[in-house]
Amino acid sequence: MARRPKKPPMTKESLLPRLAAHVLAHGLGQASLRPLARAAGTSDRMLIYHFGTKEALIIDLLQHLAGIYAAQLDNLLAADRPASRQALLARILAHNADPAMAPFLTLWWEIVAGAARDLPGFRAAARAMVDRLHAWLVGHMPAGDPDPDGGASYLLTLIEGSLMLGALGQGDRARAGLLAAGLIAP
Amino acid sequence: MARRPKKPPMTKESLLPRLAAHVLAHGLGQASLRPLARAAGTSDRMLIYHFGTKEALIIDLLQHLAGIYAAQLDNLLAADRPASRQALLARILAHNADPAMAPFLTLWWEIVAGAARDLPGFRAAARAMVDRLHAWLVGHMPAGDPDPDGGASYLLTLIEGSLMLGALGQGDRARAGLLAAGLIAP
DNA sequence: CAGCCTATGTAGCATTCGCTACATTAACCT
DNA sequence: AGGTTAATGTAGCGAATGCTACATAGGCTG
């Protein structure tokens, strides 16, 4: 058959959310066209038709994921401003500890690995997400902070280090480090 | 043919260094039996013969890589003890900035990604390496440091965060953060 | 010397991979 | 109405995948 009579035609934009759901559940490394297509309710044939290439699909998908992350940050308690760097750090750590974030974090390290190897699209997406988090941190630094930009970079480094240790199941150690530095409450 | 007359028979131990060299150069994700075998001067047939399964091979290989990392740390300026946490941090950051470490770091993020997804062998290897680094840090904390263990955890978190940002080409930002925190010299 | 056993080569198998060729049909345009 | 085109299905291709079956040559042990 051909053009579906009632169903609106599929577009990249309509496909990307379902593709994103699939890689969030199963990872980027194992993502091959046929399973991706099944998850999106279409065929490998159509994925190539819409995206041209698997590589192009992955690039688009990574940008889409970066957009999802940005939207999440935007929705994250944008109103009030924490009173201290410690409070800000606690807030972002709590957000990352939310179980709903787990699939995203698992995927995050795959994106970092791709960025480290400079696979096409990975570094751009990873940078977009890190830049966004940095900007969020700058915008949420306590009023009167002497060095919002540098402080945000400092917190960012600590956050990413904590997340990495958390990915290994060593969140305890990260917490111990932050505690020893007086950055979180016991 | 069969048993090589003069050449000693291949063992896991003789194969692992060459397999490690291959994954350091080309990554774990793309590592399939035939290329691995070519790099080790043997055949896929023999890899399965010696390791039983690709999965078992990867597990052995990850342990081997953890051993390489441990040996590197042991050789790393074990003698003198830095005078401050700052000096210790500077030393380990310099070590990681060594171009010779680049392939290892690229691979590291792949290991972290596998650990985050709990692929067999990955979390154990990643933990072994992180534990080793933590122990090294504890053993090299300045004399009289009030909290060597907590301090080492703090430095570890910062180091891993810095490495991650470095993997994205954002080492500048990590440096800015450490500078703002007074942890490195300008 | 007669076996046995270990290490190896050769061929292949079923599956999956990304991608393509070709056909077909519904919607749109003149 | 008739032609064009966008969107899709069906089949398949060549390569790569992990792994297996079978054969066999050499060393070791009796």
For every residue of A52-116, DSSP letters joined together read SSHHHHHHHHHHHHHHHHHHHHHTSS-SS--SSHHHHHHHHHHHHHSGGGHHHHHHHHHHHHHHH
Quick one: tokens of B83? 């005078």
| Cα–Cα distance for residue pair B121/B28, rounded to 1 Å | 13
Instruction: Give percent above pLDDT 90 in chain A.
Output: 89
Q: Would you place residue B78 in the very low, low, confident or very high pLDDT band (cuts 50, 70, 90)? A: low
Predicted local distance difference test score (pLDDT) of residue A7: 60
Quick one: tokens of A180? 């020893």
CB atoms within 10 A of CB A103: 15
Query: Measured between CB atoms, does A184 come within 8 Å of chain B?
Result: no
Give yes or no for a contact between B127 and A168, defined as CB atoms under 8 angstroms apart.
Answer: yes
| Cα–Cα distance for residue pair B126/B123, rounded to 1 Å | 5
Å from B94 (CA) to D13 (C1')? 51
Q: Would you place residue B186 in the very low, low, confident or very high pLDDT band (cuts 50, 70, 90)? A: confident
Instruction: Give percent above pLDDT 90 in chain B.
Output: 88
Distance between start and end Cα atoms, chain A:
64
CA distance A19 to chain B (A): 19
Predicted local distance difference test score (pLDDT) of residue A130: 98
Predicted local distance difference test score (pLDDT) of residue B8: 67
Cα–Cα distance list, B153 to A82, A158, B41, B86, B111 (Å): 26, 11, 42, 14, 20
Q: Would you place residue A23 in the very low, low, confident or very high pLDDT band (cuts 50, 70, 90)? A: very high
Closest CA to A177 of B113, B176, B141: B141
A87 touches strand D (CB under 7 A): no
Answer yes or no: do B161 and A159 touch at CB < 8 A. Answer: yes
**C-alpha torsion sign, points B145, B134, B67, A159:** negative
The pLDDT of B123-131, averaged and rounded, is: 98
Answer yes or no: do A127 and B181 touch at CB < 8 A. Answer: no
Query: Measured between CB atoms, does B59 come within 8 Å of chain A?
Result: no
Report how many Cβ contacts below 8 Å link chain A to chain B. 150
What confidence tens digit (pLDDT) does each residue in A139-160 have?
Answer: 999 999 999 999 999 999 999 9
Cα–Cα distance list, B183 to A151, B89, B177 (Å): 12, 8, 9
How big is chain B, counted in residues? 186
Q: Would you place residue B110 in the very low, low, confident or very high pLDDT band (cuts 50, 70, 90)? A: very high
| Cα–Cα distance for residue pair A23/A104, rounded to 1 Å | 9
Å from B52 (CA) to C3 (C1')? 28
| Cα–Cα distance for residue pair A10/A46, rounded to 1 Å | 9
User: Rounded to two decimals, what is the model's pTM?
Assistant: 0.95
Predicted local distance difference test score (pLDDT) of residue B80: 75
| Cα–Cα distance for residue pair A72/A67, rounded to 1 Å | 9
Q: Would you place residue A9 in the very low, low, confident or very high pLDDT band (cuts 50, 70, 90)? A: confident
Query: Measured between CB atoms, does B127 come within 8 Å of chain A?
Result: yes
Query: Measured between CB atoms, does B165 come within 8 Å of chain A?
Result: yes
Give the distance between the most distant pair of CA atoms in chain B. Answer: 66
Instruction: Give percent above pLDDT 70 in chain B.
Output: 94
Answer yes or no: do B173 and A153 touch at CB < 8 A. Answer: yes
Residues 77-116 of A with CB under 8 A from B: 105-106, 108-110, 112-113, 115-116
Closest CA to B179 of B157, B156, B162, B154: B162
Q: Which of A37-51, A165-179, B65-79 has the lowest mean pLDDT?
A: B65-79
Answer yes or no: do A170 and B29 touch at CB < 8 A. Answer: no
Q: Which bases on strand D have an atom closer than 7 Å to a protein beta carbon?
A: 6-12, 16-21, 23-27
The pLDDT of B99-107, averaged and rounded, is: 97
Å from B117 (CA) to D22 (C1')? 39
Q: Tell me the residue ranges of DSSP E strands in B8-53.
A: none
Answer yes or no: do A165 and B178 touch at CB < 8 A. Answer: no
